[in-house]
Amino acid sequence: MSHRNRDRLEFSTSPSCIGMLLVATGDSGVVAVLIGESGAELLSDLRQRFPNATLVSGGSGIAPVMGAVLKAIEDPSSPSDIALDLRGTSFQQRVWNALRAVPAGETPTYRDIANAIGAPRSVRAVAAACAANPVAVLVPCHRVIRGDGSLAGYRWGLDRKRELLARERAFALAA
């Protein structure tokens, strides 16, 4: 019996301009980009998300992926072709795919995303899918705002959300 959670996941941590990052990959791509204060905190989060996985620190394929994730944070205008292995419900997958289509510098509302996936009454469920997103930055849930234009919660903190949005605005203005 094979379960996706019984994967071998390679992971690495690195400091970044928005805090400590943990990037984890499986056979099909990135399964997690987590942001926090310490590597230990992030490793605990990874273990909770993938309790049956074999976790391997610093495997051979993780360094270039970490570099690409750091570049995506530092230069949000650069296109990212990082392979993702998004794991969630079909609804979450629809939300996350819609988020990936949002260009850097744009800030749709939760309602906009709900409409984009054909579920206009699912605004709260869209917000929940954003909160459950395990792939920070690469699935840009930080771009989603409230209908009144204010920033809503962000799994990794509103200060990080503000920083990511400010970086994207700066790159959008420079383009």
Q: Establish if 32 belongs to a structural domain.
A: yes
Considering the domain architecture, whether residues 108 and 166 belong to the same structural domain is answered as yes
Considering the domain architecture, whether residues 53 and 103 belong to the same structural domain is answered as no
Share of residues in the chain with pLDDT > 70 (%): 94
Domain boundary pick from 31, 48, 74: 74
Tell me what the mean pLDDT of segment 130-146 comes to: 94
Q: Write the DSSP string, 63-121.
A: HHHHHHHHHHHH-TTS-----B---S-HHHHHHHHHHHTSPTT---BHHHHHHHTT-TT
Read off the CATH number of the domain in which 106 is found.
Answer: 1.10.10.10
Q: Establish if 163 belongs to a structural domain.
A: yes
**Is the model's pLDDT at 44 over the cut of 70?**
yes
Read off the CATH number of the domain in which 29 is found.
Answer: 3.30.160.70
Domain boundary pick from 25, 40, 74: 74
Q: Establish if 84 belongs to a structural domain.
A: no
pLDDT at 114: 98
Q: Establish if 79 belongs to a structural domain.
A: no
Cα separation of 142 and 175, whole Å? 21
Q: Establish if 29 belongs to a structural domain.
A: yes
- 61 closest CA partner among 24, 21, 15, 16: 24
Q: Establish if 121 belongs to a structural domain.
A: yes
Six-digit token string for 14: 């690195």
**pLDDT: which is higher, 46 or 58:** 46
Q: Establish if 134 belongs to a structural domain.
A: yes
**Is the model's pLDDT at 172 over the cut of 90?**
no
Q: Establish if 80 belongs to a structural domain.
A: no
Considering the domain architecture, whether residues 68 and 95 belong to the same structural domain is answered as no
Q: What is the pTM of this model?
A: 0.90
Domain boundary pick from 29, 47, 74: 74
Instruction: Give the residue numbers annotated as catalytic, written as ranges.
Output: 141
Q: How many domains are contained in the chain?
A: 2
**Is the model's pLDDT at 35 over the cut of 50?**
yes
Lowest-pLDDT choice from 119-128, 136-145, 147-156: 147-156
Domain residues for the domain of 50 are 4-74
